[in-house]
Amino acid sequence: MVKNFLCLAAAAIILGGCISIQGCVSVHGTTHVTEQKPHHVLRHVVLFKFKEGTTAEQIRKIESAFCALPSKVDAIHDFEWGTDVGVENLSQGYTHCFLVTFLSEAKRGEYLPHPAHKEFGALLGPHLDKVLVVDYWAK
């Protein structure tokens, strides 16, 4: 009986390891998991270069505000971000990269004029030297 239970438990662990979890994003301590990756997603890549004199505290507030957008804007399917760690010194002063994923152009169209996005832009604006945005359909 114990032997059968151990075999069943081992099989469950092995099969559990075969389940693919495509996305796992942590936003303010909340983890969002998507178990199936959509076939066709629209990526919205945003790079920031901050003005000289922008403090670390101001940057942290901007990071937190951007990270809060997925909980405020239903059109966002997935979200991740990070700061430059490149060793080639080719970032041209851009320090932050945010990747926002949408399931359609219509969803992106909901996001851009959304009040939460506009509010974020107002917070960011005084500290932004340059922004680079690239949208593409993932292949």
Return the percentage of the chain with pLDDT > 70, whole number.
73
Of the candidates 124, 127, 120, 122, the residue with the CA atom closest to the CA atom of residue 52: 127
Buried b (16+ CB within 10 A) or exposed e, 79-109: bbbeeeeeeeeeeeebebbbebbbeeeebbe
DSSP 17-46: HHS---EEEEETTEEEEESS--SS-EEEEE
Which residue ranges make up each domain of the chain? 2-137
Contact 111, 76 (CB under 8 A): yes
Helix (H, G, I), strand (E, B) or coil at 65: helix
| Average per-residue pLDDT for the chain | 83
86 or 5, greater pLDDT: 86
Helix (H, G, I), strand (E, B) or coil at 136: strand
**35: pLDDT confidence band, cut at 50, 70 and 90?**
low
Q: Name the burial class of residue 40, with classes exposed (0-12), middle (13-18) and buried (19+) by CB atoms within 10 angstroms of its CB.
A: exposed
Residue where the block lists tokens 């151990």: 6
Helix (H, G, I), strand (E, B) or coil at 9: helix
Residue 37, pLDDT score: 65
- CATH of region 2-137, choose from 3.30.70.100, 1.20.1050.10, 3.10.105.10, 3.40.50.670: 3.30.70.100
Backbone dihedral angles phi then psi of residue 61, each to the nearest 5 degrees: -65, -40
**39: pLDDT confidence band, cut at 50, 70 and 90?**
confident
Residue 38, pLDDT score: 67
pLDDT in tens, 83-135: 999 999 999 999 999 999 999 999 999 999 999 999 999 999 999 999 999 99
